[in-house]
Chains A and B, each alone.
Chain A
Amino acid sequence: MELVGKISKGSKMDQIYIPKNRYGFPIGNYVIITPLTRELESKNKRKPYFYNIQSIEPIKLNIINEIFSILNQKIRGYENIIITGSFLDKGFYFNDIDILIICNEELNLENLKFLIDNQIGIKPHIILINNQSLIQGLLTDPLYHSMLSKCISKKRIIYNIKPKINYKLLDLQLLKSKIVIKNFDILSGNEKYYYIQNLVAIWLFLKSKKITKEEINRKIKELFKVDIDSIKNNLLDKKMFLKKYKEIYNKTFNEIMRNIKNDTK
């Protein structure tokens, strides 16, 4: 037996009125009062969708469900919420949680960040994107493929998009990674890893290869003969690494330029 009541204001104490004619709930019985929204939410709660996740720690899954619940209450009309990035990797070496909100309306991201940080205690990195931009990104940007290759989402992700290479955009994406050559000594391990990932994702994209985080990491190991932890911990042999890095950067750049030249003919 369940009853729904409304809390009303009293002079000394607030109260909830229930009908006199009822089955159950005899006078003197103790009952639990719980918010209706939470009750409805737990009934409507669906399991999230997992993409290329072999296993995940139960505590992380609880955190993800909590984030979905907070965002579900605060955002109306979103298309999907996707958790991605290093939070989904094994262990607890993440700095923040990457949250992709697919929504066509403007949102107060600072407020959402504050809520999540306050309630969960982990800094979120929220990216708001509309469906059109996401599709455009998947068409032309290798990092979007990498981002969605391993993720957990609130709703099912259905994008079957064949990448269309836009060489001028790739040129810009690649330019970001040039910073490693001039600023090798200054960049942190994580910053280096980000720029190497970017370079290798573009390399794979040009060769029409599958772009997943695992594939990018495998290719980094193969090309640079280093493991990912050495990069993240800033333990690279500068001379050897930069020699290879420049070689791959220049090859990728020349391939892009060759195609830009052909496109403008």
Chain B
Amino acid sequence: MTQNRNKLINLFIGNISNAVVHKILEEAIGVEEIKNKYYKEIKTSFDIAKYYRDKINPINQSLPKRDILEIKRRITNNVQNELILRISKGYKNISLNLVEGIVDEFLKKTRVSE
């Protein structure tokens, strides 16, 4: 059961990290036509993450504090790695300062934290 829970948490982290990366890249672009497309991608990753979240106990309330800290740490690492990789390859206007705020926002939206 615990193993299954860990698997679901891993899948949740993978997908919510993608959603956060999408959100930050959307800010980096600023072209309206493309932003709409990014919004669709954020929604897809977010919906998949939400699907996995809905299978992780406790379902209707936030997760224990220890889990929240660990999940937040892993998402932040994933997102920063992805963004730093892009910056190193010459992708412009990416703001790493946005990461923490968006991670917190998405964790609240998925009821991982309060």
Contact = CB atoms under 8 A, between A and B. Distances in A.
B14 A254 contact: no
Contacts of A257: 86, 89-91
Given A182-B10, A182-B14, A168 B34 contact: yes
A168 B91 CA distance: 9
A172 B34 CA distance: 11
Interface of B: 7, 10-11, 14-15, 18, 21-22, 25, 29, 33-34, 37-38, 41, 44-45, 82, 86, 89-92
Given A168-B34, A172-B41, A261 B89 contact: yes
7 contacts: A175-B82, A176-B18, A178-B18, A179-B14, A187-B11, A260-B90, A261-B89
Contacts of B10: 182-183, 186
A75 B92 CA distance: 45
Contacts of B89: 254, 257-258, 260-261
A118 interface: no
B25 A179 contact: no
Contacts of B41: 172-173, 176
Given A254-B89, A257-B89, A168 B25 contact: yes
A254 B89 CA distance: 8
A176 B7 CA distance: 18
Contacts of A179: 14-15, 18
A15 interface: no
> Chain B interface secondary structure, helix, strand, loop or mixed?
helix
Contacts of B38: 169, 172
Interface residues of A, number: 22
- CB-based closest 7 A-B pairs: A261-B90, A257-B89, A179-B14, A186-B7, A172-B41, A264-B92, A183-B14
A171 interface: yes
Interface in A145-176: 166, 168-169, 171-173, 175-176
A169 B41 CA distance: 9
Contacts of A136: 33, 37
A65 interface: no
A138 to B, nearest CB: 13
A140 B82 contact: no
Nearest to A179: B14
A175 B11 contact: no
A140 B7 contact: no
A80 B77 CA distance: 45
A30 B38 CA distance: 63
A193 to B, nearest CB: 16
Given A175-B18, A175-B22, A264-B92, A183 B34 contact: no
